[in-house]
Amino acid sequence: MNTVFDSRDPRCKQPYGALLCGKEWSLTCRPLASEGFTHCSVVIHREFANHQMEAEMPFTGFQEDRAVFSISLIPFQAPELVWYWFRFWRDDGTGCLLDKTGYRSEGDPIAWQLTVYEESRTPTWFGEGVTYQIFPDRYCRLDLPDPAGLIGDRWVHEDWSDPPAWRPEDGEVKNRDFFGGSLAGVAAHLDDLAALGVTTLYFCPIFESASNHRYNTADYTKIDPMLGTEEDFRQLCAKAREKGIRILLDGVFNHTGSQSVYFNADGFYPTLGAAQSRESPYYDWFQFSDWPGSYDAWWGISTLPNVRENCPDYVDYIITGENSIVKRWLRAGASGWRLDVADELPDEFIEQLRSAVEETDPDAVVIGEVWEDASNKISYSRRRKYFQGRELHGVMNYPFRTALLNYLLDGPAEDFKEAMETIRENYPPAAFRSAMNFLGTHDTPRVLTVLGGVPLPEGRDAQSTFRLSPVQREAGLERLHVAAAILFTFPGSPMIYYGDETGMEGAADPFNRRTYPWGHEDRALLDWFRWLGQLRKDRSSLRRGELRWLAAEGPLLAYARETFDEATVTLVNAGPEERTVSLPGEGFRDLRTGEAVPGEEASVPPYCARLLGRG
């Protein structure tokens, strides 16, 4: 920690973290008096405005062995990404810079970040609740579907427990094997989902598509027939709402499928697609270098032609039109959108989309798929503006997953705390509380497989049959119990990837997309997840309490979530020896056993998580 300036220390910076437009902020530097500095200034670079200024910080006196320089700064009137550092000098002209690495005499400074955001409304239901991600084809089927006559050369597994097909056909993985999960299958298990404490169902794409993952949309206006109908969707939304569950849809708006009504490369649809005629109403949606066979495609994958998100007709169709896709499905019962590959959607597109969402349903949310710190993300050489107040309410919190799994696989707790404190400092408070926290998704190996602690084998052939040994699985389950405790007690919405709560294993796609193991769940693990879901529902401090770190040292991690009348403490010991933690006061009880915790200290057994409560 820098003893001269620490942006997280209220003695050095006020307010904590990101700054609301129009709010004053103050800085204080405290160099040792023996260093002889008589002057200090702050250098402020406004990245979006491309403007830099320097303001001298008045000397305000001495505090023990420290010289104190302080300044209150004029509020920013517009959203910004600000970088700042300090300059010190003496009366004889000697001096140095101070940045995040300490004093330096030369080189570009490693500056502190300040996110300046515009005030806007963020619905609280998402961040306070529990999210459950469903890969629709693999959750539950009620009847064996007939794929005849549908887009794509589909076939259906008769055996629900089959492994997914993964071998390439003609040099390409087709993703044309289906299992027949449906919206009706989800509706049949709403009580099971409610028992997990779920308040948001996040669906991978449900629109008509030629593949089982449905990220190559064929028609945004239709539910894929193997999943059901628009009426089935409306009924699911209504039934889910009765149980306190909302629906979040996956918006794949950066690209469509080549086998789509818009592109229609194989002529499946009777109308003209962009690949068939330059007179197609969709021709301007796409960027051809040599029509019709050469075009811009997502990551060069020919089945995923990129769209031109600045094309007025496309923007009208997806966002701004009276019956646009975004508005249409909100009116049908959805409560928000998760934006696939948000870093490949222009800021202007996302801003327009959020505006349309709020116009249609002010209580709906927009969550982005961003794998890094979304406050300072650079995409295609452009700094993004996700959290300036007009774009995303929250993002998928990949840094949370990375830091947590590293910690549980023998990384120091200090690193987890630092990673999360960086996010908390950089994100507007509402965005931090609206983060989608998770242990795994359809794009990552199954969390239990990762927590087994052994490297995945190389090659898809080996990965297709890979399973943890009994010893490895037991170690993974032990770690997963701990990971789930942190997931459900940390600020943000805990997201469960379907089946993780049952002990599913699997390497990378498609082995992480096996069918839900109905009747073969790990009951002990499932009960633990259910208890955690109910605990979050029952305790307001876990839904909206402020975060206070209690310990982060080696294998020991402890933090509290506090409201004015309640506190919940999470104690984690990822090491082999029992540890003791100081509590924020007395009167705590073990929330699992109900036993009182005497005094202001609590022990944590090896490889264990304890949840304590007061109030």
Give the percent of the chain with pLDDT over 90. Answer: 98
pLDDT tens per residue, range 63-82: 999 999 999 999 999 999 99
In angstroms, what CA-CA distances link 443 with 238, 394, 497, 517?
29, 19, 10, 19
Cα gap 380→474, rounded to integer Å: 43
CA distance 613 to 271: 62
pLDDT tens digits for range 450-503: 999 999 999 999 999 999 999 999 999 999 999 999 999 999 999 999 999 999
Mean pLDDT across the stretch 177-196?
A: 98
- Over the stretch 511-529, which tens digit does the pLDDT of each residue have? 999 999 999 999 999 999 9
Burial of residue 111 (CB within 10 Å: 0-12, 13-18, 19+) is middle
pLDDT, tens digit, 9 for 90 and up, residues 366-381 = 999 999 999 999 999 9
Q: So what's the pLDDT on residue 173?
A: 83
CA nearest to 417, candidates 559, 536, 579: 559
Q: How many angstroms separate the CA atoms of 21 and 24, rounded?
A: 9
Between CA 485 and CA 561 the distance in angstroms is: 13
The Cα 364–Cα 469 span in angstroms is: 44
Which residue in 35, 74, 41 sits closest to 58, CA to CA? 41
Residue pair 257/175 in contact by the 8 Å Cβ criterion: no
How many Cα neighbours within 13 Å face the side chain of 337? 30
Extract the tokens encoding 542: 């876990």
Given a cut of 60, whether residue 218 has pLDDT beyond it is yes
Tens-place pLDDT, residues 83-130: 999 999 999 999 999 999 999 988 899 999 999 999 999 999 999 999
pLDDT band at 157 (very low <50, low <70, confident <90, very high): very high
Instruction: Note whether 39 and 88 are within 8 A (CB).
Output: yes
Strands 579-582 and 493-497, how do they pair? unpaired
Greatest pairwise CA separation for the chain in angstroms: 85
**DSSP per residue, 376-406:** S-EETTEE--TTTTTS-SEEB-HHHHHHHHH
CATH of segment(s) 133-249+309-338+360-365+389-538: 3.20.20.80
Question: Which pLDDT value is given to residue 151?
Answer: 97
Average pLDDT, the chain: 97
Task: Report pLDDT for 14.
Answer: 98
Collapsed DSSP state (helix, strand, coil) of residue 180 = coil
CA 444 to chain centroid, in Å, comes to: 13
- Residue 170: predicted pLDDT: 80
As assigned by CATH, the class of the 13-117 domain is mainly beta
The candidate with the shortest Cα–Cα distance to 372, out of 348, 350, 351, 401, is 401
Give the count of beta carbons closer than 10 Å to the beta carbon of residue 227: 26
CATH, range 544-614? 2.60.40.1180
328 in Cβ contact with 353 (< 8 Å): no
- CA 60/CA 69 separation, integer angstroms: 6
- pLDDT category at 1 given cuts 50, 70, 90 is low
The reply to whether the predicted model has a pTM over 0.95 is yes
Of all helices (H) and strands (E), which one includes residue 353? helix 347-360
CA distance 429 to 136: 32
Q: What's the DSSP call for residue 169?
A: B
pLDDT recorded at residue 460: 92
Instruction: Give the span between the Cα atoms of 83 and 46, in whole angstroms.
Output: 7
For residue 450 the two structure tokens come to: 């990762």
User: Which DSSP helix (H) or strand (E) runs through 331?
Assistant: helix 325-331
At 300, list the tokens: 């060069």
- Which residues have a Cβ under 8 Å from the Cβ of 106 and sit 6 or more positions away? none
398-443 pLDDT, tens digit each: 999 999 999 999 999 999 999 999 999 999 999 999 999 999 999 9
> What distances in angstroms separate CA 600 from CA 547, 571, 582, 587, 614, one per listed residue?
19, 13, 6, 8, 12
Strand pairing of 80-89 and 246-251? unpaired
Question: How do the residues of the chain divide into helix, strand and coil, expressed in percent and rounded to 5?
Answer: 25, 25, 45
* Residue partners of 515: CB distance under 8 A and separation at least 6: 138, 139, 160, 161, 162, 179, 181
CB 584 within 8 A of CB 561: no
**Tokens representing residue 451 in the block:** 């927590």
Q: Are 42 and 139 in contact (CB under 8 A)?
A: no
Length of the chain: 615
Give the Cα separation of 495 and 201 in Å (integer).
9
The answer to whether residue 2 scores a pLDDT higher than 80 is: no
- Sorting pLDDT into bands at 50, 70 and 90, what band is 214? very high
